[in-house]
Chains A and B, each alone.
Chain A
Amino acid sequence: MTATLTVPTKEQATSFMRELGFEDRFMGYVLKASGQMAVTVYTLEAAILFLGQDNTAYTVVDQFPGHDVHVAYMEPKALVDWIREVIGDVDLADAIEAASSEIPQESGYPPQLRSMRELMSQRFLQYMDVLGIGPDSGVEGGTNAEPTGT
C-alpha cells in the first residue's frame, strides 16, 4: 500500500522546513562503538542529515561488525508522530507509515531507516523545488527562502 504525496504549497513547504523551538525538538541516538549519544534535531533537514550518517548499508555488519558501525537510530513510530504532529507534514508521515508496514519486522532497523530516509529526502527535495531553492543556497532554515534562480 503506497500513500500519495501531494505537492505541497509554498506556504506548506516553508512551514515544513522551519526551525522548531526547544520544546518541539526531536531526538535521535547515535549507536557507535564508543557508546550511545543523544542527538537533538530542530528541523526536518537535520533529521535527514542525522539519518544520512547511518552506515549500516555499507558496513558489512552481518559479516564482520566493526568498530566503524554508526547506527543513526530514530524510533520509527516517534519520528512519524513528530513529522505528523509537530512538523505538520501529514502526507509524509502517512507515506513513511505505509512503506514501513511493508517491511518485515524480522529484517530489523536498517531497512526501516533506509525507507524513512529515502522518503524524507525525496520530500525535502520537493519542498526545495516548490520554493525554487537551489542546492547551494545558504539560506538559514529555509524560512526566508529566496529563489536563487539557479
Chain B
Amino acid sequence: MGNGYAGKILVVDLTKRSTSTLNTSDYAEWGGGHGMGSAVFWDLCKDKTVKAFDPGNVLTVMTGPLQGTLTPFASGRCEVQGIAPEGFPIEWYSRSGFGGRMAGQLKYAGWDGIAVMGKADKPVWIDIRNQNVAIRDAGPSGDNLWGLDTAEVEQAIYKLVRNNDTVNWTQYGGSRDSGRSTMNPGVLSCGPAGENLGRCASLIHEGGGGAGQGGFGAVFGSKNLKSISVIGTGAVGVADPKALMEARAWAESNWWDIDNLKPGLPGMYTSTPSGAIGADPINDVGSRDNSCLGCYKSCHGGHTSRGLAPNSSCFDSFYNMMGPFSADHASSDNAVTTDRLQRMGINAWEAVMSIPWLVSLFKLGILGPGKQIDSKLDWADVGSEAFNKAWLEALAYRTDVGADLAEGCARAATKWGRYEEDTTSGTLAICAHGYAHHYDARKEVEWGYGTALDGRDINEHDIALTLYWYTSMAPLFGMPYIMPAKDLVEMIGSTLLPYKDPMMLDFSDEGIYSDAMIKFISWHRAYNRFWKQSAIFCDWGVTDWINPYTKGYKGLTPELEPKFFNAVTGKNLTFEEGMKIGTKIWNLDRAIFALQGRTRDLDALAEWQFVSSKMAAHSVYEVPYIMPAFENGQWSYKNVNSRMLDHAKFEDWKTRYYTFEGWDPKTGIATRETLEKLGLGKVADELAAAKKI
C-alpha cells in the first residue's frame, strides 16, 4: 500500500544546472521534515562554515510521510532549512516552516523534498512537473519573473505551468496517462527583499504561507533562484487507509462543531478559525477562511473580496501599525500593509518588532533627517499607511535607513555603535541570536532557554498557549479557571513522556532553574524536533494539551501524534520512540552549530533579560504573566511578570542541562560517547576533525 513517503528527494545543483536524486529510504531514520532536511544538509554541505549567501549553502524544502495524507495539522506543512542569514553574530543553521498546498503537490509529484545547492549564473526558477524537472530562465530574456513580487510571480507561474488555462484539467506529459490536474502548482518564492539579500527576507507560498524567520528568502536570492514550482498528479500510498479515516474521524470529533459551536476558553484563540485579515463588511462584500491542506483548524487566514493579504494570519498582520501613532488604524489599513509586506517577502516579525526601537531613537534625536542616523522617513507618522509603505520599501530595496536595517536589527545596531547599550536597556528587545523578543524569556523560560540553545526564536507555542495565554487571560476577563493549578499541571504533566513529571511545569523563581526544568527543556526540544518539525505536525495544532471540546478538557497529545503517524507509515512508533528521534535530530543540529563556531558562551540571551528594567517614570513590565508555580509545597497560578533572569543561576542551569544531555559542560558540545549512542558516529568524526571534540 505505501508508507506515506514518495520515495525520492530531488537535488538541484544550480551551478551545474543539473539534477539528481536521493533515496528517501536512506534517510528514513530521521522521520521527515526538518530532521531529514538536517541529515541531507549534513551530507550535501561539505563545509558547514560557509556563509549563508555562499553557493555552498544547501537549502532544503522538506515534507515527511504525513504530508498530503489527511492528517490534521500536518498534511499541508513543509520545513525549510539551511544556513540562515538572520542569525547574529553567526548565521546559525536554522529552519522555518510554512503551510498551504505545496506539501501535497511535492508528494503527489513523487518527491519527499528538494535540496538546492550552488548558484545559478542568472535568475532562474525551478519548474517541477511530476518527475520532470526544468531549471528555467527567470530573467528578462526568459519568463521575466525576477523583480516581481511574490503574488505576481506566483500568478505568472500558474499561467506558465497551466498554459494559460487555469479552469480546465491541465494535461502534464504527453500521453493520456501521464497525469492531469485541476490544481494550480504549489509555488514558493522570494520577493524583492530576498532578491536584494535582505537578511529577514521570507519565502512566500500562496500569498501568505510563509517561511518567515531565518531570511531564507535571501538564500533564494543569493542563488539567483526566484521560485520553486511543483505540480503533482501521482498518488501517495499509506499503510492503513481505513485506520487513517478512523483516526481522522476520531480527531475531528474532538474539535469544534460548526453546527453547534460551544464556547472556547479565554486565550485559547488558536482553537478557532483565524479569519481573513482585514475582512470586514465595511470594506469587503464577503470573505472566507482558509485552511492548509487537509487541516480542519482553518487558521491560515482567508480570502476577501478586496483580495488583500490572502492566507495571511497571526503575526503576518502588521499589527504594530495599529498603534497609537496612527489615527487610521482600521483593519482596512492593516490588510493593505500586510499585503504589501507579503508581496515584498519580508519577515513580519522583524519588520514590526524593530519599530519600537527605531521610534525610541527618533524620540532621542538620534535618528531622523540629518541626524546621526540619517533617515528621511517620517518617523513622526509611524503607523500610517504612507509610513508603512515607505518603511517596507526601504527594507525591500535597501533605501534610506533600510540599507542598514535590511541587514537585521542586530547588525544595524552594531554598525551604529548601539548594540550593547540598546540590548542592555531593552530598547532593542532582541531575545537571542539577533532574533526579536517574542514570548517573554524571563517568564516562560522554555521559550528563552530553547531560543538560547537553538539558532533562532523557537516560535513553539506549547506553553505559551496553555500556561501563559489561558492562565493569564482567564482572570483578565474575570473567568474562573477550569481547574486548579495542581490539576492542570498533572493533566499536562502526564503527557510529558517518558518523564510524566508535573514539576517540569514549575515556572516559579526556583523552578525555572531546577533539574525538573532541565527535563522539560530536553523534552521540549525533542518533541518539537521530531513530532512537530519532522513528522511534521503544525505548532498551532499540537501539543493539544487543553482541549475545550473534550471531556475534562484533556488534550489529544500524546495519543494523536503516533496514531496518525502509524496509520500512514505502518510503523509501530510509540510517542517515546519519536522523542528519541527528536533527541537525535537536536544533537545533529547542535553539531552543525558547533561546526559553525558555537560554544557555551553563545548559548546566550540578550542582556536586558537579566537587568531590572524600569523603563520610564511609571512603567514596569506589569503585564499579567500568570503561570503555574510550585512554592511552599503548593501549586498556584502566579503572576511572574516582574522577574528578571540571573546570570549565575542561568549558567549553572546550563551546566547541568549540558550534563543531562550528555554534552561537555565546558563547551556545550555533545561528547563522542553521546553521539555514538545516538548512532551519530560520523557526526562525531567530523566534529573531531574540526577539533570541536
Q: A and B, one complex? A: yes
Chain A residues at the B interface, C-beta cutoff of 8 Å: 21-27, 29-42, 46-47, 49-50, 53, 56, 61-71, 73, 75, 78-79, 81-82, 85-86, 106-110, 140
A106 touches B265 (CB 8 A): no
A–B pairs, 16, beta carbons within 8 Å: A24-B617, A37-B319, A37-B320, A39-B320, A40-B356, A41-B324, A49-B324, A50-B323, A62-B263, A65-B264, A65-B265, A73-B623, A75-B619, A85-B617, A85-B618, A86-B617
Distance between Cα atoms of A110 and B479 in the complex (Å): 12
Query: Other than the known A25-B363, A30-B319, A140-B380, what 9 A-B pairs have Cβ atoms closer than 8 Å?
Result: A29-B623, A33-B270, A35-B315, A67-B313, A67-B314, A73-B624, A78-B619, A78-B620, A107-B478
| 10 closest cross-chain pairs (CB), A and B | A108-B478, A75-B622, A34-B315, A46-B324, A82-B618, A27-B619, A50-B324, A49-B324, A34-B314, A67-B274
A26 touches B324 (CB 8 A): no
* Closest partner residue, chain A, to B468 (CB atom): A36
B440 touches A36 (CB 8 A): yes
> A108: which of B299, B317, B429, B477 is its contact (CB, 8 Å)?
B477
Given the interface pairs A34-B314, A78-B620, A108-B476, the reply to whether A63 lies near B263 with Cβ below 8 Å is yes
> B266: which of A37, A61, A67, A70 is its contact (CB, 8 Å)?
A61
Distance between Cα atoms of A64 and B479 in the complex (Å): 13
Task: Tell me which residues from 461 to 476 in chain B have a Cβ below 8 Å from any Cβ of chain A.
Answer: 473, 475-476
Given the interface pairs A33-B269, A49-B327, A108-B479, the reply to whether A25 lies near B274 with Cβ below 8 Å is no
B622 touches A67 (CB 8 A): no
> B616: which of A25, A69, A75 is its contact (CB, 8 Å)?
A25
A residues in contact with B619, CB < 8 Å: 25-27, 75, 78, 82
A residues in contact with B364, CB < 8 Å: 22
A64 touches B272 (CB 8 A): yes
Distance between Cα atoms of A34 and B324 in the complex (Å): 18
Total B residues in contact with A, Cβ cutoff 8 Å: 53
Q: Nearest-CB distance from B624 to chain A (Å)?
A: 8
User: Interface digits, B590-631 against A, CB 8 Å rule (1 contact, 0 not)?
Assistant: 000000000000000000000000011111101110000000
User: Residue B662 at the A interface, CB < 8 A?
Assistant: no
Distance between Cα atoms of A70 and B356 in the complex (Å): 18
Chain B residues at the A interface, C-beta cutoff of 8 Å: 261, 263-270, 272-275, 299, 313-315, 317, 319-320, 322-325, 327, 329, 352-353, 356, 359-360, 363-364, 380, 429, 438-440, 473, 475-479, 615-620, 622-624
A residues in contact with B363, CB < 8 Å: 21-22, 25, 42
> A40: which of B322, B360, B476 is its contact (CB, 8 Å)?
B360
B residues in contact with A42, CB < 8 Å: 363
Distance between Cα atoms of A36 and B461 in the complex (Å): 13
Distance between Cα atoms of A85 and B617 in the complex (Å): 9
Distance between Cα atoms of A56 and B352 in the complex (Å): 23
A64 touches B620 (CB 8 A): no
A residues in contact with B299, CB < 8 Å: 67
Distance between Cα atoms of A70 and B314 in the complex (Å): 12
A81 touches B618 (CB 8 A): yes
B314 touches A71 (CB 8 A): no
B275 touches A66 (CB 8 A): yes
A residues in contact with B478, CB < 8 Å: 106-110
Most chain A CB within 10 A, of B356, B363, B439, B477, is at B477
Q: Nearest-CB distance from A62 to chain B (Å)?
A: 6
Distance between Cα atoms of A63 and B256 in the complex (Å): 13
* Closest partner residue, chain B, to A77 (CB atom): B622
Q: Nearest-CB distance from A59 to chain B (Å)?
A: 10
* Closest partner residue, chain A, to B313 (CB atom): A67
> B324: which of A47, A75, A140 is its contact (CB, 8 Å)?
A47
Q: Nearest-CB distance from A92 to chain B (Å)?
A: 14
B residues in contact with A33, CB < 8 Å: 269-270, 274, 314
Most chain A CB within 10 A, of B261, B324, B327, B622, is at B324
A residues in contact with B323, CB < 8 Å: 30, 39, 50
Q: Nearest-CB distance from A29 to chain B (Å)?
A: 4
A65 touches B356 (CB 8 A): no
> A82: which of B329, B440, B617 is its contact (CB, 8 Å)?
B617
> B615: which of A27, A32, A50, A81 is its contact (CB, 8 Å)?
A27
Given the interface pairs A65-B267, A71-B476, the reply to whether A26 lies near B618 with Cβ below 8 Å is yes
B477 touches A61 (CB 8 A): yes
Q: Nearest-CB distance from A70 to chain B (Å)?
A: 8
> B620: which of A40, A75, A108, A110 is its contact (CB, 8 Å)?
A75
B269 touches A69 (CB 8 A): yes
B479 touches A38 (CB 8 A): no
* Closest partner residue, chain B, to A48 (CB atom): B324
B359 touches A75 (CB 8 A): no
Distance between Cα atoms of A62 and B265 in the complex (Å): 7
A residues in contact with B320, CB < 8 Å: 30, 37, 39
B356 touches A39 (CB 8 A): yes
B residues in contact with A22, CB < 8 Å: 360, 363-364
A66 touches B359 (CB 8 A): no
* Closest partner residue, chain B, to A78 (CB atom): B618
* Closest partner residue, chain B, to A26 (CB atom): B619
Distance between Cα atoms of A109 and B320 in the complex (Å): 22
* Closest partner residue, chain B, to A66 (CB atom): B272
Q: Nearest-CB distance from A109 to chain B (Å)?
A: 5
A residues in contact with B356, CB < 8 Å: 37-40
Given the interface pairs A22-B363, A40-B356, the reply to whether A56 lies near B616 with Cβ below 8 Å is no
* Closest partner residue, chain A, to B439 (CB atom): A35
* Closest partner residue, chain A, to B261 (CB atom): A64
B322 touches A53 (CB 8 A): yes
* Closest partner residue, chain B, to A35 (CB atom): B438
Q: Nearest-CB distance from A101 to chain B (Å)?
A: 16
B residues in contact with A106, CB < 8 Å: 478
B617 touches A67 (CB 8 A): no
B residues in contact with A67, CB < 8 Å: 269-270, 272-275, 299, 313-314
Q: Nearest-CB distance from A112 to chain B (Å)?
A: 10
B residues in contact with A39, CB < 8 Å: 320, 323-324, 356
A residues in contact with B352, CB < 8 Å: 37
A26 touches B329 (CB 8 A): no
B residues in contact with A85, CB < 8 Å: 617-618
Given the interface pairs A67-B269, A75-B622, the reply to whether A62 lies near B616 with Cβ below 8 Å is no
Most chain B CB within 10 A, of A22, A46, A70, A82, is at A22
* Closest partner residue, chain B, to A36 (CB atom): B623
Distance between Cα atoms of A23 and B617 in the complex (Å): 7
Q: Nearest-CB distance from B406 to chain A (Å)?
A: 22
A residues in contact with B360, CB < 8 Å: 22, 40
Given the interface pairs A32-B319, A36-B440, A82-B618, the reply to whether A64 lies near B264 with Cβ below 8 Å is yes
B616 touches A108 (CB 8 A): no
Given the interface pairs A22-B360, A78-B620, A107-B478, the reply to whether A68 lies near B263 with Cβ below 8 Å is no
* Closest partner residue, chain B, to A63 (CB atom): B263
Q: Nearest-CB distance from A110 to chain B (Å)?
A: 7
* Closest partner residue, chain B, to A30 (CB atom): B319
A residues in contact with B263, CB < 8 Å: 62-64
Distance between Cα atoms of A75 and B615 in the complex (Å): 14
B617 touches A46 (CB 8 A): no
* Closest partner residue, chain B, to A113 (CB atom): B476
B residues in contact with A47, CB < 8 Å: 324
Distance between Cα atoms of A118 and B623 in the complex (Å): 21
Q: Nearest-CB distance from A87 to chain B (Å)?
A: 10
